[in-house]
């Protein structure tokens, strides 16, 4: 698929991050990746492709209760491998087209013999986007600087260390030469299946509440407000964040109340529980 077709819909996919699912396929080419806490202290991703859709992405996993609030503002397509019926029903109430493994869009998914089930469902991403290209294109989810690095009136920073739980530590390190942040998990370089290091132009960490109404399945509270940190261009700034409804985008503001602009490029959003921690270097 051609790069930067602005009229096509966004494709959001629930991506596995269990150790048997790594390295993932195509996540390095996502425009936005949201990392969320799931059961057992592990994390999963909602990865969003629009400007550069790979042929294949995955491994694809099941939906969780916060995912409608994450994907709702994006519109377009949400692909996942099923989930509890109550969570699937919640997602189907959004305006997104639900592409579910085992459903009518199963023709766009297959199981690779390179992984063990259930960590082996792969989505033919470009094919599913082409098939539903009549869906609306997404609106911008963040504000971006018109050119070059976004001016942050914060402080110089080498990166951030983020702890979701005892089982999940994330590390981002700024590379001035490459102009990006390089990602590690528990101190090990994070890569995709072809060996490419996962990097980001922007790393946004949002401190979030966890709703325990679903028992052992944590729900990240997205329709809320709180504090956060934006890292871009080698600088970090403390911010506040707000999301007013399921279908509203996340708004980041500085201490003066102005909306923060990010560097043009890909963004990782770390939805860090308040029980976790961040160390700004």
CATH number of the domain enclosing 256? 3.50.90.10
Q: Provide, rounded to the nearest whole percent, the portion of the chain with pLDDT above 70.
A: 97
Domain containing residue 77: 11-131
Tens digit of each residue's pLDDT (9 = 90 or more) over 215-272: 999 999 999 999 999 999 999 999 999 999 999 999 999 999 999 999 999 999 999 9
Q: Are the beta carbons of 249 and 235 closer than 8 angstroms? A: no
* Same domain assignment for residues 147 and 274: yes
Over range 201-227, report the average pLDDT: 97
Least trusted range by pLDDT, from 1-5, 98-102, 214-218, 275-279: 1-5
Residue 167: pLDDT band with limits 50, 70, 90 = confident
Q: Judge whether 138 lies within some domain.
A: no
Q: Which of 81, 103, 131 is the endpoint of a domain?
A: 131
Last residue of some domain: 102, 131, 160? 131
How far apart are alpha carbons 152 and 230 in whole angstroms? 9
Asked if 160 and 248 sit in the same domain, the reply is yes
Please indicate, yes or no, whether residues 157 and 114 belong to a single structural domain of this protein. Answer: no
- Quick one: pLDDT at residue 168? 87
**Which of the two residues, 187 and 127, has the higher pLDDT score?**
127
- Mean pLDDT score of the chain, rounded to an integer? 95
pLDDT at residue 79, as a whole number: 98
The answer to whether position 4 is within a domain reads: no
- Residue with token string 């080698």: 234
DSSP label at 192? Answer: B
Which tokens hold the place of 281? 């270097």
For the residues 104-110, what does the mean pLDDT come to?
96
Average pLDDT of the segment spanning 89-108: 96
Q: Please indicate, yes or no, if residue 6 is contained in any of the structural domains.
A: no
**Whether residue 229 sits in one domain with residue 115:** no
Does residue 268 fall inside a structural domain? yes
**Residue 4 pLDDT exceeds 80:** no
Cβ pair 102, 257 in contact under 8 A = no
Strands (E), 150-201: 155-156, 159-165, 168-175, 180-185, 188-189, 199-200
Do residue 116 and residue 177 come from a single domain? no
Contact 34, 269 (CB under 8 A): yes
Per the structure, the count of domains in the chain is 2
Q: Are 149 and 205 contained in the same domain? A: yes
Q: CA 163 to CA 233: how far, in whole Å?
A: 22
Cβ-based neighbours of 101, under 8 Å, separated by 6 or more: 60, 80, 81, 82, 109, 121
Tell me what the mean pLDDT of segment 111-127 comes to. 96
Predicted confidence at residue 2, as pLDDT, reads: 38
Q: Is residue 38 part of a domain?
A: yes
pLDDT at 6 over 90: no
The residue to which tokens 């529980």 are assigned: 273
Q: What is the pLDDT of residue 11?
A: 98
Same-domain status, 26 and 123: yes
181 lies in the same domain as 245: yes
Q: Which 3 state secondary structure label does DSSP give 160?
A: strand
**What number is the average pLDDT over the span 102-126?**
95
**Has residue 147 got a pLDDT over 90?**
no
Confidence class for position 1, pLDDT limits 50, 70, 90: very low
Which residues lie across from 38 on neighbouring strands? none
Using CA atoms, how far apart are residues 280 and 272, in angstroms rounded to an integer? 14
CA–CA separation, 198 and 184 (whole Å): 8
């Amino acid at each position: 698929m051609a790069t930067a077709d602005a009229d096509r819909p966004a494709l959001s996919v629930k991506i596995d991050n269990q150790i048997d699912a790594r390295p993932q396929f195509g996540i390095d080419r996502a425009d936005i990746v949201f990392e969320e806490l799931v059961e057992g202290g592990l994390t999963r991703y909602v990865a969003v492709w629009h400007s550069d859709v790979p042929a294949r992405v995955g491994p694809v996993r099941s939906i969780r209760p916060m995912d409608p609030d994450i994907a709702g503002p994006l519109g377009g397509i949400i692909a996942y491998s099923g989930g509890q019926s109550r969570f699937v029903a919640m997602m189907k109430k959004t305006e997104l087209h639900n592409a579910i493994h085992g459903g009518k869009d199963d023709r766009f998914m297959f199981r690779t013999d390179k992984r063990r089930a259930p960590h082996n469902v792969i989505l033919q991403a470009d094919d599913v986007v082409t098939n539903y290209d009549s869906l609306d294109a997404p609106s911008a989810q963040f504000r971006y600087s018109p050119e070059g690095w976004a001016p942050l009136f914060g402080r110089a920073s080498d990166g951030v260390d983020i702890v979701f739980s005892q089982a999940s530590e994330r590390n981002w390190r700024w590379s001035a030469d490459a102009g990006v942040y390089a990602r590690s998990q528990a101190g090990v370089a994070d890569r995709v299946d072809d060996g490419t290091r996962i990097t980001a132009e922007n790393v946004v960490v949002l401190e979030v509440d966890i709703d325990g109404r679903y028992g052992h399945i944590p729900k990240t509270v997205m329709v809320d407000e709180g504090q956060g940190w934006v890292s871009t261009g080698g600088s970090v700034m403390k911010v506040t964040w707000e999301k007013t409804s399921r279908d509203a985008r996340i708004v980041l503001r500085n201490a003066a109340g102005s909306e923060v602009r990010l560097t043009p490029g890909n963004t990782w959003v770390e939805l860090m529980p308040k029980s976790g921690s961040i160390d700004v270097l």
